[in-house]
Amino acid sequence: MDKFRFILSGGGTGGHIYPAIAIANELKSRHPNAEFLFVGAKDKMEMEKVPQAGYEIKGLWISGIQRKLTLKNLMFPFKLMSSLLRARKIVKQFQPDVAIGTGGFASGPLLRMAASAGIPCVLQEQNSFAGITNKLLAGKAEKICVAYDGMERFFPKEKIVKTGNPIRMDLVDLKSTTKEAVDFFGLDESKKTVLILGGSLGARRINQLIEKELHFFETMGLQVLWQCGKLYYDEYKKHESGSVKVLAFVNRMDLAYTAGDVIISRAGAGSVSELCLVGKPVIFIPSPNVAEDHQTQNAKALVAKDAAIMLRETELDTAFEKSFTKLMDSEALQNKLGTNIKKMAMPKATEHIVDEIEKLLKV
């Protein structure tokens, strides 16, 4: 049996790390004898998450450029040179058959050095607005796997393959019943549930909104399942009641998605891909504090297909109650949004990405 070697890089945020791990897991299931090596940025979360998933990782001394003049920016050329030299050494020692990049600072030096060594490279871009690292690497890649239409704005058209984003397999087919889900969270099966998702750390502006609107939800006869994030849990746990459940994080996302009738969420690529599978009406509140404002672009791509509602943070005080009431008062609108977002789901994304990688293997 062929013993392939795969080198992967993606990090800085869970949005880059999780897809890289999902791709590695699928490759491993098809090629049990394969060897894997991840490359990350030394002080970023991938250095912890990748070993937890069972893979070896090596770190580069790399970070992004800050938007204002800082000491870190002055260090950037030295970090880049150090990372390129170390990446070249790693590639030379490991001798991979294919290099795979899912975005993040470390994938730049690694894939650049892999490409210059003649190793075929595959990029995976999660967002509808491409990240700077992947845009810079596009010329070196053989294939670029994307999740949205219209990505020829950023990449050579002939290299693009629309695969979707890797997602957690327990969400592909939500088998749990509503009763099981509401019982798990201590909710009331006779009431409709608003599910609030702010990401693992939480979203300050969403939390402020929900705190302000708790009475509004109560007057509508709704209950709230509120994932406020571990940074904010101590601040908001005081609102816990029979109809308001406050969680730092959700261990059973499959049950949370089943329990929710309407979902309020950030618009990171992973969340959007999962919510397409779930097929429930969603109000997206994109984070404005991310590179290239990509969350707004992700949400707009769904709004354009009548598949979601989007509210900017600046609109929340004036527009939230009106938009939310309009949604809750119209079952037709809820059904339309749920049906249209489900049409955008790509549950076999990881398999399709790995199919593209396999085409580059010299068997």
Residue 46's contacts (CB-CB under 8 Å, 6 or more residues apart) are: 10, 11, 12, 16, 17, 20, 38, 40, 57, 104, 106
Tell me which residue of 343, 192, 227 sits closest to 278, measured CA to CA.
343
Does the annotation flag 15 for ligand binding? yes
Q: What is the distance, to the nearest Å, from the Cα of residue 80 to the centroid of all Cα atoms in its chain? A: 26
E strands in 280-327 = 282-284, 309-310
Distance, in Å, from the CA atom of 122 to the CA atom of 23, rounded to the nearest integer, reads 11
The one-letter amino acid code at 52 reads Q
The one-letter amino acid code at 80 reads L
Does the annotation flag 127 for ligand binding? yes
Distance, in Å, from the CA atom of 240 to the CA atom of 226, rounded to the nearest integer, reads 9
CB neighbours of residue 95 within 10 Å: 11
Does the annotation flag 200 for ligand binding? yes
Q: What is the distance, to the nearest Å, from the Cα of residue 9 to the centroid of all Cα atoms in its chain? A: 15
With DSSP H G I counted as helix, E B as strand and the rest as coil, what are the percentages for the chain, rounded to 5?
50, 15, 35
Does the annotation flag 133 for ligand binding? no
DSSP for 177-195? Answer: -HHHHHHHHT--TTS-EEE
First to last CA, the chain: 10
Kind of pairing, strands 244-247 and 262-265?
unpaired
Does the annotation flag 95 for ligand binding? no
Tell me which residue of 166, 168, 184 sits closest to 176, measured CA to CA.
184
Distance, in Å, from the CA atom of 260 to the CA atom of 82, rounded to the nearest integer, reads 48
Tell me which residue of 184, 87, 171, 191 sits closest to 137, measured CA to CA.
87
> Do 10 and 46 meet the contact criterion of CB atoms below 8 Å apart?
yes
The one-letter amino acid code at 201 reads L
Distance, in Å, from the CA atom of 268 to the CA atom of 282, rounded to the nearest integer, reads 13
Binding-site residues, please?
13-15, 127, 168, 200, 295
Binding-site residues for UDP-N-acetyl-alpha-D-glucosamine, please?
13-15, 127, 168, 200, 295
